[in-house]
Amino acid sequence: MGDNEILNNLAGIVGGENAVPGDGAAEFSVGGVAPRIVLFPGTIEEVSEIMKAASRDSLSVIPMGSNTKSGLGDAVTRADVALSVKRLNRILEHESADMVATAECGLTLAAFQQGLGGKNQFLPVDPPHVASGATLGGIIASGESGPERLRYGTTRELLIGMKAVRADGTIFNGGAKVVKNVAGYDLPKLFVGSLGTLGILVEATFRLYPVPEFSRTCVAGFGSLEDSQAAVHALLNSDVVMTSLEHVTPPLAEAVSERSGAPVKRGSYHLAVRIANVEKAVRDQTELVRGILKNHGAEASVVEGDVENSFWSGIREFPGGSSEEGRAVLKSGVVISEVPSVFRVIEMLSDGGVAALASARAGNGVIMIELRGDDHTLVSAIDSLRMVSESGGGTLVINDASPDVKSAAGVWGDLGSGYDLMKRIKSGYDPLSILNPGRLV
């Protein structure tokens, strides 16, 4: 069977109107590699039939939702078929009394939240790219979260069940539709952050929370990095129930302030402390936070409403997406006490002419970083930041950069013995390595 006949047969599974062949597929590139055809199945059975055909004909398959994280990971080694689940976009069940909901994985997070809002509930994940159409499947596959993970945990903790299609077309379920599932391996957790290398996610069940009644944010600039980190320590050891705690470098604080209207102190490291709860509790805890910040030399401004929402949107969406020359987006993970060490290296890079912005989830040590410079400068800067991150037992990953920078610096850093384990898991789920080959392992 010739290549054109194989691709035509794949298009026949979904219908010609739901297939984009040839040059039209270029806009669905992943890491600069364009697929030969893009398919938009409308049912789980169609996904299964596509995977059976791909497995039979040894075609590589690139799973995707809205393609908002196309720069994450290494470049795929082959890209025959891009399989988009965007037509799988329904809320299937919402058991509001049990605080759980099941939806198809092509549904956008924004649409999911809107559907849950009628029962005053929400899924408390706040990853980037929500306005760009981030889907539930893409959020699971990338493992992304945002500032609110301090209060609610990560996607891995909120995902309790799933349905997926394996590389050979087999449909299987993992987890359950109850929060306290006690049976068998917790397979859904394995798929979080797997970048579509283990199977096509088609349904997901999540634990939900009530929408908070009221929210306020304290924004405070400090005289030194040492003072701001001391305030972080005090806040984390206080009785304040924080939704988010962000530690922001001076240039990023000023940039977010310009867009949101939130007041900041120029040239200063800032903490942003969000509290969301019933109104009385928020007002009481806001005063506790202001007192703690004042004890460390900072007068806090309090924002709420549109200004507050705009401020956190700026933090959540930083550093933004899309690969471009002269730019690298990094994600460092260190112990909380080592955040200042990473910030000091960023200061050094800035003094050396690298445009560098950063924001840390101060309660868990995740730091988002944007660098701008020529390729040689970026690779050197990434090496410096990886060295300081790994010296304390942490990690540094390139979330987005040009192919040349990724190749020279390495996307993942040293994965150690974990890499061999990942390869064995990949081989078990996808022995022909047709799902996103080379992107993760």
Tokens in use for 222? 């400090």
Average of per-residue pLDDT across 106-127: 98
Residue 343 vs residue 178, higher pLDDT? 343
Average pLDDT on 358-379 reads 97
Give the model's pLDDT for residue 247: 99
The CATH number of whichever domain residue 273 belongs to comes to 3.30.70.2190
**pLDDT at position 441:** 82
Is residue 392 very low, low, confident or very high in pLDDT (cuts 50, 70, 90)? confident
Residue 180: pLDDT above 70? no
DSSP 364: T
Q: Quote the pLDDT of residue 322.
A: 62
**3 state SS of 339:** helix
The pLDDT value recorded for residue 236 is 98
Same domain, 298 and 278: yes
The DSSP annotation for 212-235 comes to: PSEEEEEEEE-SSHHHHHHHHHHH
Q: Domain tally for the chain?
A: 4
pLDDT band at 38 (very low <50, low <70, confident <90, very high): very high
Q: Does residue 304 sit in helix, strand or coil?
A: coil
Share of the chain above pLDDT 90, in %: 87
Identify the pLDDT of residue 402.
Answer: 92
439 falls within a domain: no
Domain boundary among 51, 67, 84: 84
| Pair (174, 230) in one structural domain | no
Can you give the pLDDT at residue 254? 97
- Check whether residue 198 and residue 130 sit in a common domain: yes
Assess whether pLDDT exceeds 60 at residue 102. yes
Q: Is position 79 within any domain?
A: yes
Quick check: 81 and 63 in contact, CB under 8 A? Answer: no
Q: What is d(CA 166, CA 48) in angstroms, rounded to the nearest whole number?
A: 8
Q: Is 322 within a domain?
A: no
- 224 with 300, same domain: the answer is yes
Q: Is the pLDDT of residue 323 over 70?
A: no
Tell me the average pLDDT across 18-24: 91
CA dist 357 and 155 (Å) reads 25
420 located within any domain: no
Q: What is the pLDDT of residue 293?
A: 98
Domain limits for position 219:
214-317
The band of 1, judged by pLDDT with boundaries at 50, 70 and 90, is low
User: Is residue 441 in some structural domain?
Assistant: no
Residues 376 and 340 in one domain: yes
Confidence label for 179 from pLDDT (cuts 50, 70 and 90): low
Between 74-78, 198-202, 356-360, the lowest mean confidence (pLDDT) is in 74-78
d(CA 95, CA 98) in angstroms, rounded, equals: 5
**Last residue of a domain, which of 277, 294, 317?**
317
As a whole number, mean pLDDT of residues 324-333 equals 92
Q: Are residues 104 and 77 in the same domain?
A: no
In a domain, 428, yes or no: no
Do both 189 and 225 map to the same domain?
Answer: no
Provide the pLDDT confidence category of residue 70 given band limits of 50, 70 and 90: confident
Q: Is the pLDDT of residue 348 over 80?
A: yes
Read off the pLDDT band of 324 (50, 70, 90): confident
Cα three-residue angle 340-124-401, rounded to 5 degrees: 50
Which CATH number characterizes residue 16's domain?
3.30.43.10
Which has more pLDDT, 183 or 284? 284
Residue 358's CATH number: 3.30.70.120
Q: Are residues 267 and 198 in the same domain?
A: no
Average pLDDT, whole number, for the chain?
94
pLDDT at 203: 98
Both 108 and 154 in a single domain? yes
CA dist., res. 412 & res. 416, Å (int): 11
121-138: average pLDDT:
95
Looking at the whole model, is its pTM more than 0.85?
yes
- Mark whether 24 and 61 lie in a shared domain: yes
17: left (phi over 0), alpha (psi -120 to 50) or beta: alpha
Let me know whether 60 and 163 are in one domain: no
Task: Give residue 48's pLDDT.
Answer: 98
Confidence of residue 321 (pLDDT cuts 50, 70, 90): low
Q: Any idea what the CATH number is for the domain that residue 118 is in?
A: 3.30.465.10
In a shared domain, residues 100 and 168: yes
pLDDT of residue 39 exceeding 60, the answer is yes
- Is residue 172 in some structural domain? yes
From 292, 317, 342, the end of a domain falls on 317
What mean pLDDT comes out for the span 235-260? 98
Residue 415 lies in a domain: no
